[in-house]
Amino acid sequence: MGRLTRRAFAVAALSTLSAGSSAAVPRTGRHHRTDGAGGGAAGPSGEMRGVWLACVENRDWPSRPGLTAGAQRAELTAHLDEAVRRRLNTVILQVRPTADALWPSPYEPWSQYLTGTQGGDPGWDPLGTAVAQAHARGLQLHAWFNPYRIANHADPARLVPSHPARLHPDWVVPYGGRLYYNPGLPQVRAFVQEAIMDAVRRYPVDAVHFDDYFYPYPVAGRTFDDTAAYERHGGAFADRAAWRRDNVNRLVRETAARVAQVRPGTQFGISPFGVWRNADSDPGGSRTQAGAQSYDDLHADTRTWLREGWIDYLAPQVYWNIGFTAADYAVLVPWWAREARGSRTRLYIGEALYKAGDPAQPAAWRDPAELSRHLALAADHPEVRGHVYFAAREVAADRAGAMARVVADHYPRSATAPRRPVTAGAAGPAGA
């Protein structure tokens, strides 16, 4: 996708609406606890203080393809050290950016973002090293997988000859200048899970993590062509949208069950787009006017996952400032908190650190205190059990001082990261 990262879609999703924002509202809510209980209801399970470390298009790491193994290791450990310095406790490392791998996978090629050539052996094991080095620093390492994205271009011939997408061209849907696996094919769902589970079997990762990409974000004037799969597999559903949501639900439930079976202490979490549905689409939705809705556009029924407790944590990307007209942080966080009440699924909030200090963003983001106000507001909702920051490059650079302000205001001491309880005879996720 060129230099367009997944977080750019948060802006694109609102592009049809007014970009205006009211002034940020000062908040002085109670700070997060720093006794390891963090985030109100978190109790003894800890407080999430996470950071995403993105590899797609060399966004955060490695800084460029083709670095030596030693240089790649040094950059990786520098990010881990920075997380410790900022009193964070979790790094969410992207290990399968585009149907590839940052470990020696028997299913998919080495990622091009390591060597510059897809399938090129980098001479070391990045995921194995990341897990060991994170644990040595007291950090959790969550392995972040993108389920269906094959390539940020539309030419299958650019994939290595042994790539599963070339061996199974019937699995592939070109859309919007990119290639995707078809979520409507059971064999695709099975393959994606096998590719993920290889990493879970090999390494003691603390979590499997999905982001917001299930069915792709809509592209004007383009159609995601899954007609043949729908005709073959969608007969039991009222319409194609319901069938697509069921395909995503199946992936989520099946993956949760397999992770719990193979490595019981490993969590499964998802960071979806920050709006489930607008209230004008569904009375139960949020009082927002977002141009994209995960339920309708990505066919990801994120509210159901939360309500039913299918996964261990949900970290919606609430990437807008307090007072933003179309999607107000001060509206969305209370909405998600209400939906999380009574759920076994922990709620974290994804934070747009990358917007802080960016002159292209609404004026609120030029105030170094904006992000700190987010945490103060969220602390008034005990269902919010922590925050995750996008992304590692901005944690290190902190051009506006927003991260330093968060640490000073809310993280005066370290906190224990949440873990999945493992008890004898414990059931897996509900509905799994």
pLDDT digits (tens, 9 = 90+) for 170-208: 999 999 999 999 999 999 999 999 999 999 999 999 999
* Orientation of helix 329-340 relative to helix 370-378, angle to 10°: 30
Say what the pLDDT of residue 422 is.
Answer: 56
pLDDT of residue 428: 43
CA 348, CA 163: separation in Å to the nearest integer?
35
**Look-up of token digits 């709620």:** 347
Q: Compute the mean pLDDT over every residue in the chain, rounded to the nearest whole number.
A: 90
Identify whether the C-beta of residue 372 lies closer than 8 Å to the C-beta of residue 387: no
**Phi, psi torsion values for 270, nearest 5 degrees:** -135, 140
pLDDT tens across 280-313, in order?
999 999 999 999 999 999 999 999 999 999 999 9
Q: Is the pLDDT of residue 24 over 90?
A: no
Q: Which amino acid is at 369?
A: A
Judge whether 54 and 60 are in contact, CB under 8 Å: yes
Encode pLDDT of 306-318 as tens digits: 999 999 999 999 9
Name the DSSP letter for residue 144. E
Angstrom distance (rounded) from CA 255 to CA 245: 15
Give the residues across from 101 on adjacent strands: 110
* 116 Ramachandran zone, left/alpha/beta (phi>0; psi -120 to 50): left
Taken in order 92, 96, 318, 287, is the CA torsion positive or negative? negative
pLDDT confidence tier of residue 243, bands split at 50, 70 and 90: very high
DSSP structure class, residue 37: -
Question: Which residues are within 8 A (CB) of 334 and not within 5 positions of it... i.e. 6 or more apart?
Answer: 381
- Calpha distance 391→353 (Å, rounded): 7
Return the residue matching tokens 């991260």.
Answer: 403
Q: What is the pLDDT of residue 86?
A: 98
Residue appearing with tokens 């790094």: 91
70-121 residue pLDDT tens = 999 999 999 999 999 999 999 999 999 999 999 999 999 999 999 999 999 9
Q: Which of 14, 55, 390, 4 is nearest to 178 (CA)?
A: 4
Instruction: Write the CB contacts of 76 (distance below 8 Å, at least 6 apart in sequence).
Output: 61, 62, 126, 129, 130, 133
b/e per residue 380-405 (b: at least 16 CB within 10 A): ebbbbbbbbbbbbbbbbebebebbeb
According to DSSP, the residues that pair with 142 across neighbouring strands are 92, 207
Contact 45, 33 (CB under 8 A): no
Q: How far apart are CA 122 and CA 132, in angstroms?
A: 18
In one letter, which amino acid is 305?
A: W
| Residue at 226: amino acid letter | D
**Tell me, what amino acid is at 408?**
A
Q: HEC states along 150-201? A: EECCCCHHHCCCCCHHHHCHHHEEEECCEEEECCCCHHHHHHHHHHHHHHHH
> b/e string for 291-317 if b means 16 or more Cβ within 10 A?
bbbbbbbbbbbbbbbbbbbbbbbbbbb
SS3 7: coil
Residue 2 clears pLDDT 90, i.e. is over it: no
What CA dihedral angle connects 241, 242, 247 and 250, to 10 degrees? 150
Strands lying side by side in the sheet with 178-181: 149-151, 178-181, 172-175
Residue 47 tokens, joined: 């407080």
pLDDT confidence of residue 22? 33
